[in-house]
Amino acid sequence: MDLTALPEPMRRELLWCVCRIIGLGQKVSTPALSILVRRLGEVVTDYPAQGLCSLLDLSGTDWCQRISLGVHRRTGRLPATATAQQVRVLLSR
């Protein structure tokens, strides 16, 4: 999985979260994680003035809202319900 679109601190946090989830015996959906990484990178790019470099810079709700706004801005549509739910679940873990 390519994490280069994310700032270094966010990469470390995301990898730690994935390792922790696996360590607890849970599964991580690779396609859903790929979507999350891509969308997080888009949000970081869309808001450069805020200097977002950590998952803790915004609440889970704020990340989801900004991801939805970014998808809407790029495609003219909101993300699919299933995609939005996958992102929300991963961010809440």
- Give pLDDT tens digits for 20-32: 999 999 999 999 9
Summarised one tens digit per residue, pLDDT across range 26-72 is: 999 999 999 999 999 999 999 988 899 999 999 999 999 999 999 99
Q: Within a domain: residue 38?
A: yes
Quote the CA–CA distance of 46 and 67 in Å, as a whole number. 10
Contact 39, 67 (CB under 8 A): yes
Determine the pLDDT at residue 49: 86
- Taking CA atoms, 50 is separated from 21, 24, 42, 58, in Å, by 29, 33, 13, 10
Taking each helix axis as running N to C, give the angle between helix 60-75 and helix 81-92, from 0 to 180 degrees, rounded to the nearest 10: 150
Count the domains in the chain.
Answer: 1
Q: Which domain range does residue 54 map to?
A: 8-92
Question: Is there a domain that residue 87 lies in?
Answer: yes
- Residue 21 counted as domain residue: yes
